[in-house]
Amino acid sequence: MTYRIASVVALAGVAAAAHAQFTAYGDRAAWESDPIVGGVFDLEDWSGFAIPDLNPSLGVIPTDWGTIEVEGVDDSGASIQAGEFDGEIFPATGHVAYVFTFDNPIQAMGWDTFGAASGIAIAIETDQGIADILDFIPGGFDDTFLGFTSSEPVTVVRIIASPSYPGTAVGEIFQADDMVFAGGEACRADLDGDGELTLFDFLAFQNAFDAGDPIADFDGDGDLTLFDFLAFQNEFDAGCE
């Protein structure tokens, strides 16, 4: 199911590599308005799942968009039922990571988290970066959104314990619903995110270029040069489906 939603920009965090841009979000509206998402995304609400024990012994769990697999030891207490993804992550005792493998590359993913307990928090990890919710004992983190966008498409996403707490013996129990993701064929030239290619996208590109924003690095070489103008113009001329 595809949704088109207008929203505002509120950047939660950025991690950039030499040839890729990975942006972490703690705000769903901001994630939706990222040009990579462009307000167009798919929703998995878990309503079609009834898996009371989500353990490694179950192997690969098929979905309409790919698979889910659990890493770690059995009896983690995780499950998917009643439209809710319940997870436990206790790294000191081998519990657990959740691996989402997509049939088609994606450039954005996130979900709403709520009801968290204990101390380490969770993170979304790809080979492009990590989207991290920091958590502090006591009290757990508030209901929030955890998501990312990536300038480079990925096929594997892992839900893990936050690397901000290495070696800790504490863990995290969490619930999540409404997983959202956007495909790897995003229309990068639609920089203003309005679903159309217009003069305003040229102006948005020029503003990003002048500000040194990595989003203007259209040729992916880590520098902003004339070749980025040419790469942007080529994508603009090719249009978007």
Count Cβ atoms below 10 Å from residue 108 Cβ, excluding itself.
26
* Domain-located, residue 221: yes
Mean pLDDT over residues 153-158, rounded?
93
Query: pTM for the whole thing?
Result: 0.69
Task: Return mean pLDDT, the chain.
Answer: 79
* Domain-located, residue 105: yes
* Domain-located, residue 158: yes
Question: Residue 195: pLDDT above 80?
Answer: no
Domain identity same for 209 and 109: no
Domain identity same for 125 and 216: no
Which tops the pLDDT comparison, 30 or 3? 30
The pLDDT of residue 90 is 84
Q: Which of 138, 158, 183 is the endpoint of a domain?
A: 183
Question: Residue 137: pLDDT above 60?
Answer: no
Domain identity same for 179 and 212: no
Q: Are the C-beta atoms of 122 and 141 separated by less than 8 Å?
A: no
Q: Are the C-beta atoms of 116 and 172 separated by less than 8 Å?
A: yes
The pLDDT of residue 12 is 24
Q: Rounded to the nearest 10 degrees, how much is the dihedral formed by the CA atoms of 69, 72, 73, 76?
A: -70
* Domain-located, residue 188: no
Domain identity same for 74 and 129: yes
Domain identity same for 172 and 204: no
Pairing of strands 79-81, 84-89: antiparallel
Domain identity same for 207 and 134: no
Residues 56-95 pLDDT 10s = 999 999 998 999 999 999 887 799 998 999 988 888 788 8
Q: Are the C-beta atoms of 238 and 190 separated by less than 8 Å?
A: no
Closest CA to 110 of 192, 11, 13, 176: 176
Domain count, the chain: 2
Which tops the pLDDT comparison, 5 or 231? 231
Domain identity same for 113 and 216: no
Span of 28-32, 58-62, 167-171, 185-189 with lowest mean pLDDT: 167-171
In three-state secondary structure terms, 50 is coil
Per DSSP, the residues of 202-222 read HHHHHHHHHTT-GGG-TT-SS
Residue 207, domain extent? 199-238
Domain identity same for 204 and 90: no
* Domain-located, residue 60: yes
* Domain-located, residue 215: yes
DSSP state at residue 38:
T
* Domain-located, residue 189: no
